Amino acid sequence: MSEADATDRPVRSVTWRETALYAPVKAFLEAQGFTVKGEICGCDAVGLRAGEPPLIVVAELKLSFTLELVLQAVERMRGADIVYLAVAASRRGRDQDQRVSRLCRLLGVGLLAVDLRLERVVVLCEPVPYRPRPDLPLRRRLVREHTMREGDPNAGGSSRQPIMTAYRQRALACAAAMREVGARPRDLRHLAEDAGTILSRNVYGWFERVRPGHYRLSDQGKAMIAGAADAKPSEA
């Protein structure tokens, strides 16, 4: 066959099996001083390092990151000192998703990406206990929203209907108080400390400024109030 003919032949895609991950992962663990054997008590790879008691490492192998792999890790943590999850390295797969690495760190398990062509292992996260850095602004938002929201108006898991936030509750209170006449922000502060911001920002389009410091309901606001009034009897 000529060189040109060989060049023109299509390149076959390689179909890998999970067993292709074993040799690179075994070599990786052996470099850390473990004696590694495959398929021990249902575990893909088990390594022992001398000691009393011996240090036990378990590696579970999957071509891609799946929920089943995570569940296996949780189960293996009951019997092993160290748990690794090993997946085939990819360009756009789950192994490249930073959320996956964070999940593994939260669980305290290691994550390995195995380049099957080069038989090379890259450590994406170490199997060490992890405590994420607190997101203080997020914590403050959670506490503020929870504290300021009246009652519990939303069923958890709602995704196809507007969420009743504390801000929306305060805007509704202001709109209800303005049903008949306009108002100034200071007239509404007993309902919402940030009444001035609510009226000026007009997030929902319910208010309109008549003159500086004075507001009234817009047509949209009036329609909203009317709709809310019509809905009350059916909810009773």
- pTM beyond 0.95: no
Q: Are 52 and 30 in contact (CB under 8 A)?
A: no
Q: What is the CATH number of domain 164-225?
A: 1.10.10
Locate the domains of the chain by residue range: 15-125, 164-225
Residue 95 in tokens: 């192994």
| Residue 159: per-residue pLDDT | 67
The two domains 15-125 and 164-225 share their CATH topology (first three levels equal): no
Q: How far is the C-alpha of 44 from the C-alpha of 29, rounded, in Å?
A: 13
What does pLDDT average to in each consecutive run of 10 residues of the chain (236 residues)?
44 64 90 89 86 86 89 88 90 79 90 88 84 76 85 76 89 93 93 95 95 93 85 48
pLDDT digits (tens, 9 = 90+) for 210-226: 999 999 999 999 999 98
State the SS3 of 47-84.
EEECCCCCEEEEEEEECCCCHHHHHHHHHHCCCCCEEE
CATH fold group of domain 15-125: Trna Endonuclease; Chain: A, domain 1 (3.40.1350)
Q: How far is the C-alpha of 143 from the C-alpha of 136, rounded, in Å?
A: 11
Q: How far is the C-alpha of 170 from the C-alpha of 207, rounded, in Å?
A: 13
